[in-house]
Amino acid sequence: MNKYTFLYILCILCTVRLTTPFNAERSSQDILITSKLRTKRQSCQDGTYQHEGMACCLCAAGQHLESHCSVSPEDGTCVYCEENRTYNSDPNSLDSCEPCTSCDSKANLEVEDRCTIFKDSVCRCQQGHYCNKGKEHCRACYPCTICSEEGIKVACSATNNTICHAFKEQGRNLAVVFVLTTVLLVLLVIIYLWRSNKYCFGPNGGLTELPNRSSEEMQPLRGVNLWPHLPDIAKTLGWRDMKQVAECSGMTHTAIESHQLNFPNDSQEQCSSLLRAWVEKEGMTTASVTLVQTLLRMKKKVKAEDIMAIISNKEDGVTGQNSGSGQV
């Protein structure tokens, strides 16, 4: 053997000697890592429950318990739920899975999110239907209300019914019609009573009923010709009260104002002119009673009594003169 062969063999031996411990150390580390991973997988990752004094591993979500542990916590048996039929959403020790909720089309429901072994079905209302109880409690949906021509205020959705303008607007229209009808009837009644001289507008704008006067009190006024008394009556009345008397008797506003325009800046002549027109309208022999009664319902008692005194005094004077002439 020459020296070159000896050196070659020596190199091989050194190489084997150096590499062998390294490979053995590496294999030992791999075994340790693998052992740790296996232990981690076999530990109770989802928690434990108690069975006959032993802590057993819970089954994971999507599974249910088939048999309890007996020797170690990990030796229990779990099986998966049935896809699209049952589920368990949490780690458990149940002996069965929960049934999936059925989205019944007869109840106007449809599937929004299908059932898996990990979660239940999620249902929703079909198009044109609603349920205001929330998805978790909704077991049936109801058809949305269809609004008439008045229109939609709030559109129907999966969680609320349609709100229409129709009923509110219709109610409002009926209320307006009712109010207008009532006002019209009241006005017609007022006009009728005004025309019939049973009522008259008082000084404050209210209605005043015709006061009852005894026949004896009014007797001196019946059949009296007012024409000779007009100047004194006009002075007693004044334009404002004469205008109201004319209005109560039904004279038009235009006819009353014409007397005011004919005598500008002369209220006494305005009053006299309107009084003459009013007496002609009411009748010369009946105007005295009508005038006094109108003033009384206007709550102008003092003026009514003054006019009665004017008429009575003049009539007494005329009667006295006639009696005196007869004696002579």
In this predicted model, what pLDDT tens digit does every residue of 293-317 receive, in sequence order?
888 888 888 888 888 888 877 555 5
Residue 73's pLDDT is 92
Q: Name the band, by pLDDT with cuts 50, 70 and 90, for residue 194.
A: low
Q: What pLDDT, on the 0 to 100 scale, is given for residue 219?
A: 63
User: Residues 156-163: contacts with CB within 8 Å, 24+ apart?
Assistant: 156/128, 156/130, 157/130, 158/124, 158/125, 158/129, 158/130, 158/131, 159/130, 159/131, 159/132, 159/134, 160/130, 160/132, 161/130, 161/132
> Measured between alpha carbons, how far is 157 from 141 in angstroms, rounded to an integer?
11
pLDDT of 21: 45
Q: For residues 80 and 65, what is the distance between their CA atoms, to the nearest angstrom?
A: 9
Which pLDDT belongs to residue 274?
87
DSSP tag of 81: P
Task: State the CATH class of domain 48-99.
Answer: mainly beta
The yes-or-no verdict on residue 55 having pLDDT over 90 is yes
How do the domains of the chain map onto residue ranges? 48-99, 105-111+122-164, 165-196, 199-210+220-315
Convert the pLDDT of each residue in 164-193 to its tens digit. Answer: 986 555 556 677 888 899 988 888 887 776
Choice among 56-60, 65-69, 184-188 with the minimum mean pLDDT: 184-188
**pLDDT value of residue 3:** 56
Structure confidence at residue 195 (pLDDT): 58
With beta carbons less than 8 A apart as the criterion, state whether 311 and 228 touch: no
Q: How far apart (Å, rounded) are the C-alpha atoms in residues 236 and 304? A: 9
Distance from C-alpha of 70 to C-alpha of 184, rounded to nearest angstrom: 95
Classify domain 199-210+220-315 by CATH number.
Answer: 1.10.533.10
Statement: residue 286 has pLDDT above 60: yes
pLDDT at 319: 42
pLDDT at residue 22 is higher than 80: no
- The backbone region for 67, taken as left when phi is positive above 0, alpha when psi lies in -120 to 50, beta otherwise, is beta
Q: Report the pLDDT value the prediction gives residue 50, as an integer from 0 to 100.
A: 93
Q: Is the pLDDT of residue 80 over 90?
A: yes
Count how many residues are written for the chain: 328
* pLDDT at residue 58 in the model: 96
The rounded distance, in Å, linking the Cα atoms of 296 and 317 is 26
Query: When comparing pLDDT for 126 and 148, which is higher?
Result: 126
Q: What is the rounded average pLDDT of the residues 45-58?
A: 93
Q: Which residues contact 123 (CB under 8 A, 6 or more apart)?
A: 101, 103, 109, 110, 111, 112, 135, 138
Residue of higher predicted confidence among 303 and 79: 79
Contact 236, 268 (CB under 8 A): no
Task: Give mean pLDDT, residues 245-267.
Answer: 87
Domains 48-99 and 199-210+220-315 share a fold: no
Mean pLDDT, rounded, for 103-124: 93
